[in-house]
Amino acid sequence: MTVQIVSKMEDSFKDMHAAMAESADEAAGYLRALSNPSRLLLLCQLVECERSVGELEEALGLGQAYVSQQLARLRSEGLVKAARDGRIVRYSLADPRVVPVLQVLYEQFCGPARAAQ
């Protein structure tokens, strides 16, 4: 009986470890996407509301080709999604889990408390 309990506990631990490893891989992918300053700035703009490429270019002072390239990378990572509005493509956050991460980064590195340091 004790052997069965230990065996079930070991199986449960293995399942939990596999799930954690999968989650860690996903989190690492998100963090890689966030590691580029321009992509991080794009995501911060999208926290507020959806925006077009032109609006993002203007807000960040970046060129259209570069903004489009970074948005494509963020789309491939599952962080942003695109919706066509006539001739204009509007981008928004695809994964709500990234919002709290961006909020913490903003508070720690960009917010008023940081400016006072």
Give pTM, 2 decimals: 0.74
pLDDT of residue 111: 66
In a domain, 103, yes or no: yes
In a domain, 64, yes or no: yes
pLDDT of residue 3: 65
Number of folded domains that form the chain: 1
Contact 95, 59 (CB under 8 A): no
Residues facing residue 52 across a β-bridge: 90
pLDDT of residue 1: 55
Within 8 A by CB and 6+ apart from 45, the residues are 51, 55, 56, 59, 60
- Which of 98, 80, 103 is closest to 27 using CA atoms? 98
pLDDT of residue 16: 74
In a domain, 50, yes or no: yes
Domain extent, residue 106, equals: 36-115
How far apart CA 51 and CA 2 sit, in angstroms, is: 60
pLDDT of residue 107: 81
Task: Assign residue 98 the CATH number of its domain.
Answer: 1.10.10.10
pLDDT of residue 64: 94
In a domain, 89, yes or no: yes
Per-residue confidence in pLDDT tens, the chain, 117 aa:
566 675 666 667 677 777 777 888 888 888 888 889 999 889 988 988 899 999 999 999 999 999 999 999 999 989 999 999 899 999 999 988 888 988 888 788 776 655 555
Q: For residue 80, how many other CB atoms are within 10 A of its CB?
A: 24
